[in-house]
Amino acid sequence: MALSAALCSRGAIIVPSSERICSKLLRNTSITTRLFSAPAKKVVVVHSIGADRPGIVADITRIVTDKGGNVGESRAQLLGGIFSLMMQVDIGEKDVGDLRDQLASGVKGMKTECLESVEKNANVAPMIAFAGRFKLSGADNPGIVHKLTSILARNSLSIVNMKTKHEDAPFGGTELFTVEGKSVAYEPLASNFEWTKIREELKQLGDSLNCDIEFDNITGSSFRH
């Protein structure tokens, strides 16, 4: 107390020991601020050409998606048995080199290259190549929705909306089960994609389940996702 009084009388300020320690720590501590940002992206154009065969598009898109790429607009052409494909891909800048190497060696029978887009503001958005409307109506069966959606998935169709409901049949006391919705396939379509074959496969499923299944091509029509 005598020391405190003496210091106070001389205009000194007494700092408690805990505050003194904190002050010293702050003076001797280097504070680092880390800034986080999204990985840089690049838009590249994949070009592949070679003798036509089943699975070319699947092979290329598998490599792209495995490297974290997103497939956007594309163009494909078959001429004289030679298949040519060009597609825009949005991918992380650090992954472009790996993608280029994988495409060069991983697509059997095709010469495939990866070029950086020359458009400064190029961007990639999935393009809808096919849109279909489906509707099932009939008696409910175990696994009926799974069987329907499995056929769509097996044919590379993504469901954008779907609803199910139970209602009384117009004639008789039975209950009617309905499933309806819309599905899409994005560019590029597989070379063997035929929506009429999907419709026939769905019809056969309906026959086996004693129900009606409709599948219509609505590509180009405006619809809500």
How many residues are listed for the chain in this entry?
A: 225
Helix (H, G, I), strand (E, B) or coil at 149: helix
Residue 86: what are its φ and ψ, rounded to 5°? -130, 135
* In contact, 167 and 109? CB cutoff 8 Å: no
Question: What is the Cα Rg of the chain in Å?
Answer: 31
Average pLDDT, the chain: 78
Cα–Cα dist 85/57, whole Å: 8
Q: What phi, psi does 162 have (nearest 5°)? A: -160, 145
- Distance separating alpha carbons of residues 105 and 63, to the nearest angstrom: 11
Q: From CA 213, how far away is CA 150, in angstroms rounded?
A: 14
**What is the DSSP track for 7-51?**
HHHTT-----HHHHHHHHHHHHPPP------PPPEEEEEEEEEEE
Residue 29 confidence (pLDDT) above 80:
no
pLDDT at 46: 93
| Model pLDDT for residues 113-166, shown as the tens digit of each residue | 988 887 666 666 667 889 999 999 988 777 888 889 889 988 988 888 888 887
Lookup result for tokens 């800048």: 93
* Structure tokens that stand for 198 in this block: 């999907």
Burial of residue 183 (CB within 10 Å: 0-12, 13-18, 19+) is buried
Confidence (pLDDT) at 120: 63
| Amino acid 198: pLDDT | 96
Q: In Å, how far from its chain's centre is CA 150?
A: 18
Residue 199 has a pLDDT of: 97
At residue 50, does pLDDT exceed 90? yes
pLDDT category of residue 34 using cuts at 50, 70 and 90: very low
Q: So what's the pLDDT on residue 124?
A: 62
pLDDT number for residue 163 = 86
